Copies of this chain bind each other. A is one copy, B any other.
Amino acid sequence: MDFAPHTDDDLQAMLAAVGRSSLDDLFTHIPQGLRPPGEPNLPRGRSEDETLSALARHAAANHTDAVCFAGGGAYDHYVPAAIAALVGRGELLTSYTPYQPEVSQGMLQALFEYQTVISELTGLPVSNASLYDGGSAVAEAVSMACAATRRNAVVMSSALDAPTRQVVRTYGHPLDRGTSEVDYGADGRTPVPPLSDDVAAVVIAQPNALGVVEDVRAHAEAAHAAGAQLIVKLEPIAVGLLATPGSQGADLVVGEGQPLGQGLAYGGPTFGFLACRTDQIRRIPGRIVGRTVDRAGRTGYVMTLRAREQDIRREKATSNICTNQTLCAVAALIHLSWLGPQGLRDLARACLARAQHAARRLTEIDGVELAVSGPFYKEFPLRLAVRDPQAAVTALHAAGYLVGPVVDTGPAQGAVMVALTERRTADEVEGLADALARIVKEDS
């Protein structure tokens, strides 16, 4: 099967126009040894109906019924129905990078609006038009800080989520970037680390991977005192309550966009956001949209500062990013506009109330206690009196409750993360408590 509209007549006429007698004939100039005979060894083509039935069987083989208390950067926030309807509109869905701004004003304006809401969330004036994800966004921010400071070392909090720490290391390795970690303390907060003069950036998360709210201001001051920049990986719902990292002195605020209208989707596609101060704008990776006027003086939008990008600057570009995650960014824009300021605040407050309630309720269980003492708003680590925390997670999943991830390092190592979004009810917490009590008891 294929989606080509060619009739037999079309094929004959078009082949005649190009002086060929068959489709295969268009490939005969390629060395014969590179043209294996026959078809590739894939299943034979099938109808749309059969294709979708096969996909439906795969989808059904996933188990998504467990009540989701899992966190670790992806949260079961509600995604309003309007998002899919709007980003599914063909004019948006099937467009590409707006190289021709006159026929791309829709996407360009949406991205300008997106940059504005990211600027609001981060407390910094400049946002790009999206990055791949939160992990690579941190890595790109590290590069920016290195370029800005002309230094090549980075200090990461060990309370930055493990995958992101790995991404930073992976990106840094070929560039001989010195990458070290500072351990978080018993309260789950990252102490202000001593900084040598080769350190370009300190990276912390807000709230961090233990759910704990960091003291961004203290880190910013210390970093700046050492001539380094502070990069904050922000969980964006948190600023419904917390001060924006930008207002607290962070130089670069990045984050994983998953909580903003992306759904769980096994973690992708989502997007990464990145914001900086105006003096860093020429170092920003990827697309930026700017406002301007047309020949008739009407407001319009274009991609701007293109001389940073790979297609113009090649090996001197600020990043290699080309295709980004625009449609995800537009979904986030819709989500944030749907929420509005008060909705975002209410959402964050709902997480706070539910998380506090759940923490109280779950730690009533014998053998269950909070693994850190610092302040949290939607996610917290539980220390379980069990031999193998991963086995407890599996047992909870079998009982219908998804929790995790398990903390990989530091004082709370082995603790199990529990996250509460606005969707998790008191009844569901009771159910989790019952299951947890049973599992901990059976293990001890």
Contact = CB atoms under 8 A, between A and B. Distances in A.
A80 B135 CA distance: 38
Interface string A63-102: 0000000000000001011000100111000000000000
Contacts of A78: 47-49
Contact of A85 (B47, B80, B88): B88
A189 B48 CA distance: 36
B423 A49 contact: yes
A13 interface: no
The 9 closest A-B pairs by CB, nearest first: A49-B78, A48-B80, A49-B423, A48-B81, A85-B88, A52-B81, A89-B89, A48-B78, A85-B90
Contacts of A89: 89-90
A341 B52 CA distance: 24
Nearest to A93: B85
A67 to B, nearest CB: 12
A216 to B, nearest CB: 31
A85 B93 CA distance: 12
Interface in A26-83: 47-49, 52, 78, 80-81
Interface in A343-386: none
Contacts of A422: 49
Nearest to A48: B80
A143 B85 CA distance: 42
A279 B362 CA distance: 78
Interface string A399-430: 00000000000000000000000110000000
A81 B78 CA distance: 25
Nearest to A425: B50
A85 to B, nearest CB: 7
A283 B428 CA distance: 61
Nearest to A49: B78
Contacts of A48: 78, 80-81
A53 to B, nearest CB: 8
6 contacts: A48-B78, A49-B422, A49-B423, A85-B90, A89-B89, A89-B90
A138 to B, nearest CB: 30
Nearest to A84: B88
Given A52-B81, A85-B88, 10 more contacts: A47-B78, A48-B78, A48-B80, A48-B81, A49-B78, A49-B422, A49-B423, A85-B90, A89-B89, A89-B90
